[in-house]
Chains A and B, each alone.
Chain A
């Protein structure tokens, strides 16, 4: 059975932990955590990931810049990206989708929604 790898980019330890718990329910999915956009890029440079789940609002490098950088990276230019936003930040969401993000999840996040979104993008039954 194929194994998938996921990179979570989130500055809040609580949200990271919650995402890790949720994605642990997806079989054969290996999860790596990054604290912010810069840490995320560092991890993307050292390994190949099948999917990226990133928050939009982060210090140092936010999710929008990360999406832009990932789409210009030849290795990860086609990697599905899921962004996590708040309902109020509709402009950020639109911008992220225009930059190449594939899906979005609004806070407060629900584990079943995260699982369903990741499975759909990875085409896992």
Chain B
């Protein structure tokens, strides 16, 4: 009998031991292959997941880079805008300073104009009357309305130039005003010096004995009298630049206007004839 090593016992369809071993080896290999395949599939799956994750990460990074670029652009734009803002602010401050300067200048001009208007009106009024009473009334009006004097008196020197005689006053009783010796009085000293004397103190607190201001009156460079402002209205706490200009104007024009009016009155208000002006050409 032929004994096939691949065959099992005779009469049996069981494989022989070699075949069995071969089968077992095959099954082992197959099982290992299947395991490897499974591992491979798992690895593929894992790699796919990893790829997906990397792709997501990549997309995120790309978006981030894009966002960074946008931020860089925005930052550059902000910087440009900041620069523009600084320039505009600087221009605005310069314009503002210019505007304030201009406003101050306008106020200064307006104030100067108001002062000139006061001086013009005072001068105009002093010379708008040819009656001594009218001139006196206007002098008083300038003192009261423009200077803000409340109590005052106008004195003229007597012909001997020894005394100052009160000729017009306001706010004080006539009995309180008597002729004043030129030699030993503040009024007389102002007349002699020919320069206005203004007290440093509050002009509202001046008195007859200590006037707030004394203004010498001149005619043709000769001092002929004084105006004494004893005190001012309650709201007139100090003399301003325009008041000093008014003092100067009164000093130079008040007495001249008064003298002209007196001379005109003495001629019975007759105007001089043409012959009086014929020799005036220079």
Residues of A within 8 A of B (CB): 12-15, 17-18, 21-22, 25, 86-88, 106-112, 115
Are B145 and A22 neighbours in the complex by a CB distance under 8 Å? Answer: no
Given the known inter-chain contacts A110-B114, A112-B114, please indicate yes or no for A88 contacting B233, CB distance below 8 A. Answer: yes
Pair A22/B117 contact, Cβ less than 8 Å: yes
Contact B114 A111 (CB under 8 A): yes
Known: A107-B233, A111-B114. A14 touches B148 (CB 8 A): no
Shortest CB-to-CB span from A5 to chain B, Å, is 21
A87 CB contacts on chain B under 8 angstroms:
233-235
Shortest Cβ-Cβ A-B pairs, 6 listed? A111-B114, A108-B148, A21-B117, A87-B235, A14-B125, A87-B234
A-B contact count (CB 8 A): 58
State whether A108 touches B234 (Cβ < 8 A).
no
Chain A residues with Cβ below 8 Å from B151 are: none
Q: Does B34 contact A (CB under 8 A)?
A: no
Residues in chain A near residue B122, CB distance under 8 A: 14
Q: Is B236 an interface residue (CB 8 A)?
A: yes
Give CA–CA (A23, B122) in the complex, Å.
17
Out of B113, B121, B138, B235, which one reaches A18, CB within 8 Å?
A: B121
Contacts of A106 on B, CB cut-off 8 Å?
235
On whether the beta carbons of A86 and B125 are closer than 8 Å, the reply is no
**Cβ-defined contact, B147 with A112, below 8 A:** no
Given contact pairs A17-B121, A21-B120, A111 touches B234 in the complex (Cβ within 8 A):
no
B236 contacts A108, CB within 8 Å?
A: yes
Closest chain A residue, CB of each to CB of B114:
A111
| Residue in contact with B117 in the complex, picked from A13, A15, A18, A108, CB distance below 8 Å | A18
A107 to B144 Cα, complex, angstroms: 9
Q: A108-B147, A111-B114, A111-B117 are in contact. Are A14 and B236 (CB under 8 A)?
A: no
* Inter-chain contact A14/B145, CB cutoff 8 Å: yes
Task: Report the minimal beta-carbon distance from B1 to chain A, rounded to whole angstroms.
Answer: 139
- A108 and B114 within 8 A (CB): no
Within 8 A of A (CB), among B100-147: 107, 110-111, 113-114, 117-118, 120-122, 124-125, 128, 138, 141-142, 144-147
Partner of A108, one of B113, B124, B138, B233: B233
